[in-house]
C-alpha cells in the first residue's frame, strides 16, 4: 500500500465518518435514551442506558405487533423474491435466446413496468375481484408484478454471457426445456441471482407504500407500517421510535453482510451490460 | 300478572344467550390518539364486563389525511369492520353515509340535538353517536407569563397583538406555531369563524351556494391576515416550521411560549405529558374586531359509526347505544377527564375541572358559541393547511392566499357535485 | 420434416405475463378510463377531460412540475458523478477500502421512513445535530426542511445520501469489467491519472453510467417516499413534486383527478426517458 493510498483512505474515512457513520450513531444513541432525554433530540451521550427497557417496550407495544410484522414481512419478502427469481429468469432466458416479434412486446412491457407509476385504486379493485385484497398472497403477487421489469432486464443481460453451447449440448442429450433451464441455466445464474436477492429483498422488506394500500388490517401489518404507526403513537417517545428503526434495519443488514462480497460480482456480469 | 314480564324477560334472556354462543368479536377502527384509545379501552372493557359474549378488537390508523384516506378506502371496499370512529361534519358527509353507514336513528334518545345535525345523512337519518367531548378552537395561554407581565385576557384582536408585543419585549416567545404538523397552522383561520359569522351571519350558506368567497369577504379574510400579522410581528418561536403539535403543547404548558392557537383537546396531551402544569394553562376564544361580539368557535367531537357492510350490525348498535348513554359518557370522563362539554343529555362534568376547561364553559353557558364552518358547510378545501403554512411562514401574502383557497374550495365543491358550482 | 419444438418455449413467459398483466397492465388501462371520470370510489361519472383541465389549473402544479424536474436532475446527476468518483476511489486499493464500501452502502439498507425520521431530527432548525454542529463553528444554520427556498434541496441531499451507495456499487461493478490492458496502454502512452480517468474510465464505464442515470432519473421523477417522510411537500408547496401533488389529490378523495395526475406523470417520465434511452442506444452503435 502506497502512502497515497493510505492517506486517501484516512481522508475518506474521516469524511465517511461525519456523513455516514454519525447519523447511525445518532439513531443508536437516541434508541437507548430515556424518553425525556430523547425528546431533546440532542446528539449526546446518554446519561442512562435503557437499551433493554426500550427494546422490550417496542417489542411488546400493541400486543407484540412488531413480531407479527417481522413474520409477515419475512413471508412476503421470501415468497416474492423467489417468484421474481424464477419468473424473471425464465422471461430473461426466452427473451435472450429466442429472438422474435414477441420480444418487442416483452420489451414494451418491461419498459412500462420500469416507468409507469402503478395505479393504486384500480389495483385494489382487481385484487378484490380476485379475492386477494388484504391477503399476503395478493401482496406477494403485487411485489412480483412491480419488480419483474428490473429482474427480467438483469437476467437477460447476464444470460447473454452464458455460451449457447451449454444449452445446445443439453438439447442434444434430449433434455426437456424445463430441465435445461432449471438444471443447467439457473445454477449458472447464481452471481446475478445473489445481486437480485440483495436488491429486491431489501426493497420489498423496506417497502412501505404498497403494504399501506394493499395490505390493510392489523393482522397483516408489516415492519415499515409499524414504524409509520408508531410515528403517531410515539410522537413524544423518540427513544422508542428510534429503537424501532434500529430493529427493522437488522434483517436487511443480515442479508447485506451475508451477500456483501458476491453483489459486485453479480453486478459486473449483469446490470452494467444492459 | 307478574309472570308475563318475567317470562318475556326469560325469553329475551334465552335469545341473547343463544346469540351469546356466537361469542361475537366486534372490530373497531379508530385513530391512534392516546385519548381515543384510552376512551375506547375503557368503554369496551366496561361493556364486555356487562356482556361477556361481546369482545372487541381495536385497530388504530394514522391521523390526518392518511387516516381519512384509509377509512374511505376501507368503507368503499366493504372492509370497514363493525365500528368506525371518525369525524363528524363535512368529513362524515364525504363518506357517502347513506350508502356506507348503518342507520342509527333509533339509539339517539340521549344525544343532544346539535350533535345529531352533524351526523345526519342527506336522507335525514342519523348515522352516528358522539364520541368524546365538544372542543373549542381558540388560544391557550400561559397564566404564569400573563401574571408576571400583568397582562389580561384579550377581548379584541388589537388587545391580543398588544399583549404579544409586550411578551416579545419581555424576551419570550409570544405565539407558539407548529407547522411541522401542518394541520395546526389552520387554527387562526378556522377558529375565527365565530367572528366571521358575527359580522356576516349568512356566510356559511352563501359560501356553500357559491355566493360568498374568502377573498371577497373582508371578515372571512381576516383569519388569513391575523396569521400574517403574527408572522410579520416576529412573535413566533424560531423553529415554527419544524416544531410539532407536542412541542406547541410543551411550550405553552411550561411557559416557553405565552400563546398556542389550538383546539381544546390539547388538554389531554398537557395532562399526559405535563401533569404539573395543567393549572398554568388557560384558554380564550380567538378575539375579533369587537369585544362585545366575541365568542367561541366550537368543534363537534368525532362519532362512532357502524359500517353498513358489518356482519354484526345489531351487536355494534347495542354497544353504540351504551356509548350514547349517561353511563357511557361517565366512563369516557373517567378515562380522559373532562376536556369539554359532552353531547349527552344529563351527563354532568365533575366540579373540579382544569382552568382551561373552566375558561371554556362560560362561552357555552352564555350561548356565545358558533359551530366551526366545517359543520355548517360540506365544503372544506383540502389544501388549506398548506396555504396557511405559507401565510404563517411569510411565503404568500394573506390576500393572495385567500384567493388561492377559494380555488381549492371550488375543486372540492365540484367533486361533491354541489349545485351552483 | 416436422418442426422441432423450440428449447425456449413461450410458456416460460406465461407465469410472469399473467401476474404482470392482471396486476399491472389491467389497473393501468383502467386508470386511463377513471382519469376521465369524477370518481369518489363509490361511483364514477364520465366528465371528459375535466380532470386534466383541473390538474393543469392547479396553481401548485406548475411548481410541482418544475420541482420534479429539478429534483430528478439534481439527484441523478449527483448520484452518477459522485458515484463514479467514489467507485474510482474505492477500487484504487486505499486503506480500509472494503469497510468504506460497506459504510456508504449502509444507508441503502435503511427504510425510507427510518431515514426520514432520522434526518427530520438531525435537520431540526434549533435542536438538530447539524445546526448545533454548525453553531459550534460559528455558523447559524438555516431551517433545512422548513425554509421554502431550501427544503427541496435538503430532501435531494437526503435522497443522495440514501442512494449513493447503490450508484457506487454499480460503478464498482462497471469498473471491474474494464480490462487492465487499457490502463496499461494509456500509461505507456504517458497519460497522467487524470488523463486516464477521462480517456479510459469515463468512456469504458459508459454502460454503468447508462444504468445509474436511467435508474436514478426514473426514481427521481417518481420520487415520493422520501419527500413524504420528511417535508410532505412543504413548507406550503415548496417541495411538492408531481407524485406528492398526486398523492394529496388522492388523500383528499379526488380519485379521478389523482388518476389523471398519474397519467400526466407517466407522460412526463416517458417524455424524458424515451428520448434519453434512444440517444444512449444510438451512441452505443456509434462506438
**Could you read off the pLDDT of C190-211 as tens digits, one per residue?**
999 899 999 999 999 888 898 8
Q: Determine the residue among B40, B74, B77 to mutate to test chain A binding: the one whose Cβ has the most chain A Cβ atoms within 10 Å.
A: B77
Query: Measured between CB atoms, which of C23, C26, C128 is closest to A41?
Result: C128
Backbone angles phi, psi at B325, to 5 degrees: -105, 170
Instruction: Give pLDDT, residue A164.
Output: 87
- What confidence tens digit (pLDDT) does each residue in B154-186 have? 999 999 999 999 999 999 999 999 999 899 999
C-alpha closest to that of A202 among A138, A120, A143, A124: A143
Structural domain count, chain B:
2
Q: Identify the H or E element spanning C50.
A: helix C50-57
The pLDDT of residue C285 is above 60: no
Neighbours of chain B (3+ CB pairs under 8 A): A, C
Backbone angles phi, psi at B150, to 5 degrees: 65, 35
Judged on CB neighbours under 10 Å (0-12, 13-18, 19+), B14 is exposed
- B218 and B156 belong to one structural domain: yes
Query: Measured between CB atoms, which of B73, B179, B383 is closest to C235?
Result: B179
CATH number, domain with residue B187:
3.40.190.10
- Residue for cell digits 401574502? B397
Cβ–Cβ of A233/B70 closer than 8 Å?
Answer: no
The pLDDT of residue B17 is above 50: no
Residues of chain A in contact with residue C133, where contact means CB-CB under 8 angstroms, are: 43
How many residues comprise chain C? 287
The pLDDT of residue A235 is above 80: no
Neighbours of chain C (3+ CB pairs under 8 A): A, B
Hey, what's the cell of B176? Answer: 407558539
**Which B residues 259-318 touch C at CB under 8 Å?**
none
**Which A residues 53-112 touch C at CB under 8 Å?**
83, 86-88, 90-91, 93-95, 97-98, 102, 106, 109, 112
Out of A205-214, B75-84, C33-42, pick the least confident: C33-42
Neighbours of chain A (3+ CB pairs under 8 A): B, C
Q: Is the peptide bond before A197 cis (omega within 30 degrees of 0)?
A: no
**Which C residues 116-135 touch B at CB under 8 Å?**
120, 123-128
Backbone angles phi, psi at B342, to 5 degrees: -90, 160
Instruction: Give pLDDT, residue B20.
Output: 44
A224 touches chain C (CB under 8 A): yes
ipTM entry: 0.87
Task: Provide the pLDDT confidence category of residue B6 given band limits of 50, 70 and 90.
Answer: very low
- Provide the b/e sequence for B341-352 (b: ≥16 CB within 10 Å): bbbbeebebeee
A62-273 topology per CATH: MetI-like fold (1.10.3720)
Query: Taken in order C228, C234, C236, C239, is the CA torsion positive or negative?
Result: negative
Query: Measured between CB atoms, which of B382, B395, B412 is closest to C236?
Result: B395
Cβ–Cβ of C146/B65 closer than 8 Å?
Answer: no
B62 touches chain C (CB under 8 A): no
CA distance A257 to chain B (A): 34
The rounded percent of chain B whose pLDDT value lies above 90 is 62
Its domain, for residue B108, covers 20-127+302-336
Cβ–Cβ of B73/A124 closer than 8 Å?
Answer: yes
- C-alpha span between B164 and B175 (Å, rounded): 7
Q: Identify the H or E element spanning B296.
A: strand B296-299
CA distance B6 to chain C (A): 48
Query: Measured between CB atoms, which of B57, B63, B79 is closest to A134?
Result: B79
% helix, strand, coil for chain C, step of 5? 70, 0, 25
Chain A residues with CB-CB distance to B under 8 A?
Answer: 121, 124, 128, 133-134, 213, 216-218, 228-229, 231-233, 235-236
pTM above 0.80, yes or no: yes
Q: Identify the H or E element spanning C11.
A: none
Which runs of consecutive H residues, i.e. helices, occur in B245-365? 245-254, 266-273, 313-323, 326-336, 355-358, 361-365
Homologous superfamily assigned to C58-286: MetI-like (1.10.3720.10)
Mean pLDDT of A239-250: 91
- B51 and B188 belong to one structural domain: no
Cβ–Cβ of C7/A180 closer than 8 Å?
Answer: yes
- B332 and B394 belong to one structural domain: no
Query: Measured between CB atoms, which of B69, B99, B393 is closest to C148?
Result: B393
Residues of chain A in contact with residue B57, where contact means CB-CB under 8 angstroms, are: 218
Residues of chain B in contact with residue C127, where contact means CB-CB under 8 angstroms, are: 239
A271 touches chain C (CB under 8 A): yes
Which runs of consecutive H residues, i.e. helices, occur in B209-348? 218-232, 245-254, 266-273, 313-323, 326-336
Q: Name, in order, each residue with C-beta under 8 angstroms of C249's C-beta and a sequence gap of 6 or more.
A: C257, C258, C261
C238 touches chain B (CB under 8 A): yes
Cβ–Cβ of B60/A228 closer than 8 Å?
Answer: no
Task: Output the CA angle A84-A87-A89, nearest 5 degrees.
Answer: 95
Q: Name, in order, each residue with C-beta under 8 angstroms of C19's C-beta and a sequence gap of 6 or more.
A: A83, A87, A141, A144, A145, A148
- B121 and B150 belong to one structural domain: no
3-class SS of residue B25: strand
3-class SS of residue C174: helix
B12 touches chain C (CB under 8 A): no
Query: Taken in order A99, A100, A106, A110, is the CA torsion positive or negative?
Result: positive
Q: Contact at 8 Å (CB) between A209 and C228?
A: no
- Provide the b/e sequence for A124-162 (b: ≥16 CB within 10 Å): bbbbbeeebbbbbebbbbbbbbbbbbbbbbbbbbbbbeb
Task: Provide the pLDDT confidence category of residue B9 given band limits of 50, 70 and 90.
Answer: very low
- Whether residue B2 lies inside any domain: the answer is no
- Residue for cell digits 343532544? B112
DSSP tag of B58: E
- What confidence tens digit (pLDDT) does each residue in B186-226 have? 999 999 999 999 999 999 999 999 999 999 999 999 999 99
The pLDDT of residue B403 is above 90: yes
- C-alpha span between C232 and C245 (Å, rounded): 10
- B188 and B292 belong to one structural domain: yes
- B70 and B108 belong to one structural domain: yes
A41 touches chain C (CB under 8 A): yes
C-alpha closest to that of B312 among B24, B51, B16, B98: B24
- Whether residue B211 lies inside any domain: the answer is yes
Residues of chain A in contact with residue B245, where contact means CB-CB under 8 angstroms, are: 235
- Whether residue B341 lies inside any domain: the answer is no
Task: Provide the pLDDT confidence category of residue C41 given band limits of 50, 70 and 90.
Answer: low
- What confidence tens digit (pLDDT) does each residue in C233-253 have? 989 999 999 989 888 887 787
- What confidence tens digit (pLDDT) does each residue in B27-66 have? 999 987 778 888 999 999 999 999 999 999 988 877 666 6
Task: Provide the pLDDT confidence category of residue A171 given band limits of 50, 70 and 90.
Answer: confident
B73 touches chain A (CB under 8 A): yes
- C-alpha span between C81 and A143 (Å, rounded): 31
Residues of chain C in contact with residue A268, where contact means CB-CB under 8 angstroms, are: 173-174, 176-177
Cβ–Cβ of A268/C174 closer than 8 Å?
Answer: yes
Mean pLDDT of B77-93: 88
Query: Measured between CB atoms, which of B59, B63, B77 is closest to A124?
Result: B77
- What confidence tens digit (pLDDT) does each residue in C68-90 have? 999 999 999 999 999 999 999 99
- What confidence tens digit (pLDDT) does each residue in A25-78 have? 999 999 999 988 888 788 889 998 999 999 998 888 877 889 999 999 999 999
- What confidence tens digit (pLDDT) does each residue in B255-266 have? 999 999 999 988
Mean pLDDT of C154-168: 95
How would you classify residue A116: left for phi > 0, otherwise alpha for psi between -120 and 50, otherwise beta? beta
CA distance B412 to chain C (A): 8
C-alpha closest to that of B69 among B334, B382, B391, B419: B382
Q: Closest residue of B to A221, CA-based? A: B59
Mean pLDDT of B100-124: 90
- C-alpha span between C181 and A250 (Å, rounded): 41
Query: Measured between CB atoms, which of A124, A229, A236 is closest to B62?
Result: A229
% helix, strand, coil for chain A, step of 5? 80, 0, 20
Cα distances (Å, whole numbers) of residue C21 to C15, C67, C234: 10, 32, 36
- B52 and B97 belong to one structural domain: yes
Cβ–Cβ of A20/C97 closer than 8 Å?
Answer: no
Q: Determine the residue among B180, B242, B405 to mutate to test chain C binding: the one whose Cβ has the most chain C Cβ atoms within 10 Å.
A: B242
Q: Contact at 8 Å (CB) between B65 and C251?
A: yes
The pLDDT of residue B388 is above 60: yes
Query: Measured between CB atoms, which of C7, C113, C218 is closest to A114?
Result: C218
- What confidence tens digit (pLDDT) does each residue in A78-92 have? 999 999 999 999 999
- Whether residue B347 lies inside any domain: the answer is no
Residues of chain A in contact with residue B63, where contact means CB-CB under 8 angstroms, are: 232
- What confidence tens digit (pLDDT) does each residue in A89-141 have? 999 999 988 888 888 899 889 888 888 888 887 888 789 889 898 899 999 99
Residues of chain C in contact with residue B73, where contact means CB-CB under 8 angstroms, are: 41
How would you classify residue C16: left for phi > 0, otherwise alpha for psi between -120 and 50, otherwise beta? alpha
> Which segments of B165-233 are extended strands (E)?
173-175
Cα distances (Å, whole numbers) of residue C42 to B190, B207, B414, C154, C262: 30, 26, 16, 39, 20
Average pLDDT of the residues of chain B = 88
- B320 and B382 belong to one structural domain: no
Instruction: Give pLDDT, residue C258.
Output: 86
The pLDDT of residue B148 is above 50: yes
Q: Contact at 8 Å (CB) between A197 and A266?
A: no
- Residue for cell digits 411550550? B251
- Whether residue B270 lies inside any domain: the answer is yes
C-alpha closest to that of A206 among A159, A245, A237: A245
B79 touches chain A (CB under 8 A): yes
Cβ–Cβ of A8/C92 closer than 8 Å?
Answer: yes
- B288 and B235 belong to one structural domain: yes
Give the start-to-end residue ranges of the domains of chain A.
62-273
- B319 and B289 belong to one structural domain: no
Q: Contact at 8 Å (CB) between A223 and A66?
A: yes
**Which A residues 160-219 touch C at CB under 8 Å?**
167, 171, 177, 180-181, 199, 202, 206, 208-209
Residues of chain B in contact with residue C252, where contact means CB-CB under 8 angstroms, are: 65, 382-383, 412
Cβ–Cβ of C234/B389 closer than 8 Å?
Answer: yes
- B169 and B182 belong to one structural domain: yes
Task: Provide the pLDDT confidence category of residue C287 given band limits of 50, 70 and 90.
Answer: very low
CA distance C47 to chain A (A): 18
Hey, what's the cell of B16? Answer: 341473547
- Whether residue B38 lies inside any domain: the answer is yes
B254 touches chain A (CB under 8 A): no
Backbone angles phi, psi at B256, to 5 degrees: -70, -30
C114 touches chain B (CB under 8 A): no
Amino acid at each position: 500500500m502506497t502512502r497515497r493510498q493510505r492517506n486517501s483512505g484516512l481522508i475518506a474515512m474521516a469524511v465517511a465518518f461525519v456523513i455516514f457513520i454519525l447519523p447511525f450513531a445518532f439513531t443508536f444513541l437516541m434508541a437507548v435514551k430515556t424518553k425525556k432525554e430523547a425528546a431533546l433530540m440532542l446528539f449526546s451521550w446518554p446519561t442512562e442506558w435503557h437499551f433493554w427497557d426500550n427494546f422490550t417496550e417496542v417489542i411488546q407495544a400493541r400486543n407484540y405487533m412488531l413480531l407479527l410484522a417481522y413474520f409477515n414481512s419475512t413471508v412476503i419478502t421470501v415468497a416474492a423474491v423467489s417468484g421474481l427469481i424464477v419468473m424473471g429468469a425464465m422471461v430473461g432466458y426466452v427473451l435472450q435466446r429466442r429472438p422474435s416479434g414477441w420480444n418487442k412486446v416483452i420489451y414494451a412491457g418491461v419498459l412500462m413496468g420500469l416507468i409507469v407509476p402503478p395505479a393504486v385504486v384500480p389495483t385494489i379493485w382487481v385484487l378484490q375481484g380476485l379475492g386477494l385484497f388484504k391477503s399476503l398472497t395478493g401482496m406477494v403477487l403485487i411485489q412480483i408484478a412491480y419488480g419483474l421489469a428490473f429482474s427480467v432486464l438483469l437476467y437477460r443481460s447476464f444470460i447473454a454471457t452464458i455460451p449457447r453451447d451449454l444449452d445446445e449440448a443439453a438439447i442434444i442429450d434430449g433434455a426437456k426445456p424445463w430441465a435445461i433451464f432449471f438444471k443447467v441455466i439457473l445454477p449458472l445464474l447464481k452471481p446475478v441471482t445473489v445481486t437480485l436477492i440483495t436488491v429486491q429483498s431489501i426493497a420489498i422488506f423496506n417497502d412501505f407504500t404498497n403494504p399501506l394500500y394493499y395490505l390493510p388490517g392489523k393482522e397483516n401489518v408489516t415492519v415499515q407500517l409499524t414504524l409509520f404507526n408508531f410515528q403517531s403513537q410515539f410522537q413524544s417517545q423518540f427513544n422508542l421510535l428510534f429503537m424501532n428503526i434500529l430493529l427493522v434495519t437488522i434483517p436487511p443488514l443480515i442479508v447485506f453482510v451475508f451477500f456483501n462480497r458476491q453483489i459486485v460480482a453479480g453486478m459486473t456480469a449483469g446490470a452494467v451490460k444492459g | 300478572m307478574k309472570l308475563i314480564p318475567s317470562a318475556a324477560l326469560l325469553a329475551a334472556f334465552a335469545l341473547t344467550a343463544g346469540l351469546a354462543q356466537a361469542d361475537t368479536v366486534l372490530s373497531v377502527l379508530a385513530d391512534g390518539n392516546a385519548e381515543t384509545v384510552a376512551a375506547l379501552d375503557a368503554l369496551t372493557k366496561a361493556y364486555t364486563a356487562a356482556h361477556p359474549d361481546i369482545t372487541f378488537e381495536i385497530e388504530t390508523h394514522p391521523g390526518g389525511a392518511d387516516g381519512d384516506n384509509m377509512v374511505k378506502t376501507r368503507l368503499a371496499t366493504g372492509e370497514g369492520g363493525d365500528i368506525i370512529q371518525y369525524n363528524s361534519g363535512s368529513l362524515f358527509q364525504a363518506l357517502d353515509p347513506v350508502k356506507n353507514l348503518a342507520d342509527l336513528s333509533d339509539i339517539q334518545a340521549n344525544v343532544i340535538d346539535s350533535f345529531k345535525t352533524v351526523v345526519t345523512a342527506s336522507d335525514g337519518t342519523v348515522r352516528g353517536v358522539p364520541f368524546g367531548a365538544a372542543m373549542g378552537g381558540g388560544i391557550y395561554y400561559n397564566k404564569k407569563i400573563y401574571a408576571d407581565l400583568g397582562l389580561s385576557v384579550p377581548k379584541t384582536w388589537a388587545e391580543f397583538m398588544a399583549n404579544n408585543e409586550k411578551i416579545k419585549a419581555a424576551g419570550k416567545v409570544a405565539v407558539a406555531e407548529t407547522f411541522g404538523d401542518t394541520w395546526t397552522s389552520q387554527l387562526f383561520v378556522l377558529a375565527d369563524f365565530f367572528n366571521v359569522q358575527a359580522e356576516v351571519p349568512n356566510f356559511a350558506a352563501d359560501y356553500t351556494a357559491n355566493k360568498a368567497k374568502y377573498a371577497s369577504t373582508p371578515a372571512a379574510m381576516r383569519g388569513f391576515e391575523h396569521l400574517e400579522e403574527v408572522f410579520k410581528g416576529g412573535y413566533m418561536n424560531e423553529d415554527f416550521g419544524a416544531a410539532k403539535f407536542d412541542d406547541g403543547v410543551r411550550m405553552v404548558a411550561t411557559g416557553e411560549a405565552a400563546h398556542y392557537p389550538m383546539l381544546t383537546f390539547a388538554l389531554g396531551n398537557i395532562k399526559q405529558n405535563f401533569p404539573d402544569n395543567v393549572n398554568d394553562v388557560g384558554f380564550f376564544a380567538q378575539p375579533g374586531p369587537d369585544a362585545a361580539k366575541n365568542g367561541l368557535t366550537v368543534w363537534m367531537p368525532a362519532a362512532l359509526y357502524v359500517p353498513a357492510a358489518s356482519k354484526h350490525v345489531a351487536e355494534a348498535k347495542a354497544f353504540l347505544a351504551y356509548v350514547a348513554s349517561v353511563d357511557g359518557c361517565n366512563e369516557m370522563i373517567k378515562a380522559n377527564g373532562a376536556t369539554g362539554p359532552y353531547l349527552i343529555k344529563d351527563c354532568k362534568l365533575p366540579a373540579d375541572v382544569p382552568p382551561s376547561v373552566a375558561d371554556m364553559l362560560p362561552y357555552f353557558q352564555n350561548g356565545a358559541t358558533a359551530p366551526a364552518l366545517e359543520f355548517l358547510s360540506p365544503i372544506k378545501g383540502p389544501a388549506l393547511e398548506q396555504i396557511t403554512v405559507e401565510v404563517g411562514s411569510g411565503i404568500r401574502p394573506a390576500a393572495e392566499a385567500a384567493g388561492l383557497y377559494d380555488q381549492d374550495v371550488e375543486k372540492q365543491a365540484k367533486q361533491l357535485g354541489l349545485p351552483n358550482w | 420434416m416436422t418442426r422441432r419444438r423450440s428449447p425456449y418455449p413461450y410458456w416460460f413467459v406465461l407465469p410472469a405475463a399473467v401476474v404482470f398483466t392482471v396486476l399491472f397492465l389491467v389497473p393501468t388501462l383502467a386508470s386511463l378510463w377513471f382519469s376521465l371520470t369524477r370518481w369518489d370510489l363509490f361511483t364514477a361519472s364520465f366528465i371528459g377531460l375535466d380532470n386534466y383541465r383541473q390538474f393543469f389549473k392547479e396553481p401548485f402544479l406548475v411548481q410541482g412540475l418544475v420541482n420534479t424536474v429539478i429534483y430528478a436532475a439534481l439527484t441523478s446527476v449527483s448520484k452518477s458523478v459522485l458515484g463514479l468518483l467514489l467507485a474510482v476511489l474505492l477500487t484504487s486499493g486505499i486503506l480500509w477500502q472494503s469497510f468504506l464500501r460497506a459504510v456508504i452502502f449502509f444507508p441503502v439498507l435503511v427504510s425510507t421512513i427510518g431515514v426520514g425520521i432520522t434526518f427530520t431530527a438531525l435537520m431540526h432548525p434549533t435542536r438538530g445535530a447539524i445546526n448545533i454542529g454548525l453553531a459550534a463553528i460559528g455558523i447559524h444554520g438555516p431551517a433545512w426542511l422548513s425554509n421554502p427556498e431550501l427544503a427541496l434541496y435538503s430532501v435531494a441531499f437526503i435522497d443522495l445520501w440514501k442512494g449513493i451507495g447503490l450508484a457506487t456499487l454499480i460503478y464498482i461493478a462497471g469498473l471491474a469489467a474494464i480490462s487492465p490492458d487499457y490502463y496499461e496502454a494509456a500509461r505507456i502512452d504517458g497519460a497522467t491519472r487524470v488523463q486516464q480517468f477521462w480517456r479510459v474510465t469515463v468512456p469504458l464505464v459508459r454502460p454503468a453510467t447508462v444504468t445509474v442515470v436511467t435508474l436514478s432519473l426514473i426514481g427521481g421523477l417518481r420520487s415520493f417516499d422520501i419527500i413524504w417522510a420528511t417535508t410532505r411537500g412543504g413548507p406550503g408547496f415548496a417541495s411538492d413534486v408531481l407524485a406528492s401533488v398526486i398523492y394529496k389529490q388522492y388523500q383528499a378523495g379526488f380519485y379521478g383527478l389523482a388518476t389523471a395526475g398519474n397519467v400526466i406523470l407517466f407522460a412526463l417520465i416517458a417524455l424524458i426517458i424515451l428520448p434519453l434511452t434512444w440517444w444512449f442506444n444510438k451512441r452505443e452503435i456509434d462506438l
